[in-house]
Amino acid sequence: MLTLLFDGIAYGMLLFILALGLAVTMGLMNFINLAHGAFAMAGGYITVLLMQRAGVPFLLCLPAAFLGAALLGAVLERTLYRPLYRKPHLDQVLFSIGLTFMAVASIDWFMGSTQQFIQLPQWLKGRTEIGTGAWTLGMGHYRLFIIAVCAALTVVLQYILSNTRFGSRLRASVDDQRVAAGLGINVNMVFLSTFAFGCGLAGLGGALGAEVLGLDPTFPLKFMIYFLIVVAVGGTSSITGPLLAALLLGIADVAGKYYIPKMGAFIVYLLMIAILIWRPQGLFVRQGGKA
């Protein structure tokens, strides 16, 4: 049982890193970006390519995945996303679905539709067990690694967001764009860097998750709903909201699939619909922010 909880937490942490960029862009630009998974997929494929073709060690691939996805995000933000911030949501949804379709088809074309695997280094492959009987805690080393990386990232992000100048600019822009711009904050620059950073995080998540979630060209479509659940349930005004939502989702999904395999993904969807009917703005909403 503890093992399940542990796996759920690892899964949830991964989802959090993957979805955080989406939460920020949605809160910041009010932009419904269904193509977020494509950036995660880009990160995953960068890792696979580097490891298989160039023999780069796994640990070096992670920053590469981050940078690659961030760069891609920055370029696309400048060229394609920028004109759409003021468009209606329907346009944004159509645009990002189109982008996702293109990403899926082009990865299919270049890499083939088979699932890609990542050869983990030896020291991440083992498994440690603590305790006995019903309370055995089995920890895969790789999952432990994921939790450690994601937790460290969360702490750093929380620090940046609450204690640095950039963080306060970002929060100001999320709360009210126009006033922030009036105070001399370069909102466009904040948008660009945040979008790129969010995409980079997604790329990192995709690289980390290739082993756990599986990596094939339909990745953006398969996990789109999960990212959106995290954002919709967690709200977009803080990073603790999405974090808690991601952990809840991860644990519910792992536990649901283990205990009631027949029900499969039902539990997650039902839970989401119930929560959204109960609190349409998400579970964790800060009072006083812009609706």
Partner 1 sequence: MSDNTSRAHLSLLDATRWRVWEPLLWIAAFAAPFVLSQHAAIINEIAIVALFALSLDLVLGFTGIVSLGHAAFFGFGAYTAALFAKHVMPDPLVGLAVGIATSTLLGAFASFTVQRGSDLTRLMVTLGAALILLELANKLDWLTGGADGLQGVVMGPVLGRFEFDLAGRTAAWYSLTVLLVLFVIARRLVHSPFGATLKAIRDNRLRAMAIGIPVGSRITVAYTIAAALAGAAGALLAQTTGFASLDVFEFHRSADVMLILVVGGTGWLYGGVLGAIVFKLMQDFLSAITPQYWTFWLGLFLVVLVLVGRDRLLKPWTLFQRGRTA
Size of the site for partner 1 (CB under 8 A): 44
The answer to the question of residue 84 lying near partner 1 (CB under 8 A) is yes
- In the complex, the smallest distance separating the C-beta of residue 291 from partner 1, rounded to whole angstroms, is 8
Q: Does 80 bind partner 1 (CB under 8 A)?
A: yes
Residue choice 28, 32, 40, 247 for contact with partner 1 (CB under 8 A): 32
In the complex with partner 1, which residue's Cβ is closer, 6 or 39?
A: 39
Residue of the chain from 56, 71, 74, 221 that contacts partner 1 (CB under 8 A): 221
Interface pick for partner 1 out of 102, 130, 148, 183 (rule CB under 8 A): 102
Stretch that binds partner 1, among 82-90, 150-158, 171-179, 202-210 (CB under 8 A): 82-90
> Tokens 């950036």 correspond to what residue?
39
* Residues in 223-282 at the binding interface with partner 1, rule: CB under 8 A: 225, 228-229, 231-232, 262-266, 269-270, 272-273, 276-277, 280-281
Distances (CA, A) of 169 to 176, 181, 257: 11, 10, 42
Residue among 26 and 210 whose Cβ is closer to partner 1:
26
Residue 17's nearest CA partner among 214, 242, 254, 238 is 242
Q: Which tokens in the block code for residue 245?
A: 């939502």
CB of 154 to partner 1, least distance (A): 23
> Shortest gap between Cβ of 53 and partner 1 (angstroms)?
23
Binding site for partner 1 (CB under 8 A): 26, 32, 80, 83-84, 87, 89-95, 97-106, 108-109, 221, 225, 228-229, 231-232, 262-266, 269-270, 272-273, 276-277, 280-281
